[in-house]
Amino acid sequence: MMLRAILAAALLVPALPAGAVELMVSAAPVTRFKGVELDQPVDRLIFRGGLTLQSPVDTFGGLSSVTVTGPDQRIAFITDRGNFIAGQLAYDQADRLIGLIGVTIEPMQNSAGAPLPRQFARDAEGMDTIWRDGAPAAVRVGFEHLTRVADFAVTDGRPGGAAREVNIPQWLTDLRTNESLEAVCIAPPASPIAGSTLLLAEEALDAKGNHRGELLGVNDKGPIGFVNSPIVNPTDCKFLPNGDLLVLERGVSLFAFVMHLRRVPAAEVRPGNLMAGELLLSAQGGEIDNMESLMVHETPGGETRIFIGSDNNFNDWQRTLVLEFALPE
């Protein structure tokens, strides 16, 4: 019965915009993490399972950030090659993630409505959703190499259309590397800085060696910092519903990937402050891959989940891995 429902939902993809293509994505379950079984504590979280994702289409991969784009678990990823990949997370009756269905891929456009012209302009790294009256109106995307921020409209759960450029500070614009603007997230209504956009850089450091950031808001704007940890750098961020900030960090140690997830109290996310946060989760080696994307969302069963995904860099020896966790009560 559940399989029939999933297949039916996959067939209910609205008419695709020009340039969008449907993808078939298969999923294999991940049922252990760091030696624990499903629904068991791991560090300061609870492991809820995961998937490895594959597609026969070679443009599926390089997933750099992810965000909720509509009801019924509609989400979208951005990729290193300047594409939006949109779809719907599928859950079974036990509220377990079992697949990604109704998947489409669509090239990002510039402000003139044309495909981004070259790879230097396509390296999208961070994304979050702009909500208006409880509905997703647009996604805000950060790019490295040609460092900039742009908004894209959301229609039927899929981002797309012409980019609308967002003003950012000159120090960010001047960065022209693949280690510049890495994380973009927007503060929720419960946050003291509600509506402000947080930008975090990967390798742009201040005079004390900490990561530089910026808050873009009407009332809450200006520089902000994030403590530099050994080995790892910030790669994505999302806010919890209560306004606390989650920061995903990744790095490489002894030829193995390393991942940290930190939680910063809402009151510490303010202009002029240096954020540190408590460590919720750490992993390395075969347990993970190049973990770059972070999302906070609600499952069909009503649980708030932390969703972490990997960027396989379009390499055959890497995985597109997604993992889900819950916070203890």
pLDDT tens digits, residue range 14-26? 567 667 899 999 9
- Closest by CA to 234, choosing from 291, 195, 194, 191, is 291
Helix, coil or strand: residue 309: strand
For range 197-206, the mean pLDDT: 94
pLDDT of residue 18: 62
Per residue in 291-320, pLDDT (tens digit) is: 999 999 999 999 999 999 999 999 989 999
Q: Which residue has the higher pLDDT, 56 or 203?
A: 56
The answer to whether 31 touches 51, Cβ cutoff 8 Å, is no
CA 83, chain centre distance (Å): 14
User: Any idea where the domains of the chain sit in the sequence?
Assistant: 2-12+28-326
Query: Measured between alpha carbons, how far is 243 from 142 in angstroms, rounded to an integer?
Result: 21
- Neighbouring CB atoms inside 10 A of 72's CB total 10
Per residue in 285-294, pLDDT (tens digit) is: 999 999 999 9
pLDDT of residue 8: 41
For range 165-190, the mean pLDDT: 93
Please state, in angstroms and as integers, the Cα–Cα distance from residue 117 to each residue in 76, 111, 122, 124, 155, following that order: 22, 12, 8, 14, 24
Instruction: Say which CATH architecture domain 2-12+28-326 belongs to.
Output: 6 Propeller (2.120)
In sequence order, the 6+-apart residues with CB closer than 8 A to the CB of 188 are: 194, 239, 240, 241, 243
Query: Measured between alpha carbons, how far is 264 from 245 in angstroms, rounded to an integer?
Result: 5
Mean of per-residue pLDDT scores for the chain: 93
Sole residue written with tokens 């009560």: 329
Which secondary-structure segment (H or E) carries 149?
strand 148-155
Query: Measured between alpha carbons, how far is 48 from 188 in angstroms, rounded to an integer?
Result: 24
Per residue in 31-68, pLDDT (tens digit) is: 999 999 999 999 999 999 999 999 999 999 999 999 99
Six-digit token pair at 76? 């979208």
The answer to whether 269 touches 224, Cβ cutoff 8 Å, is yes
User: How many residues does the structure list for the chain?
Assistant: 329
pLDDT over 60 (residue 4) = no
Lowest mean pLDDT among 110-119, 127-136, 224-233: 110-119
For range 271-283, the mean pLDDT: 97
Rounded to a whole number, what is the distance in angstroms from the first to the last CA of the chain?
A: 32
pLDDT of residue 302: 97
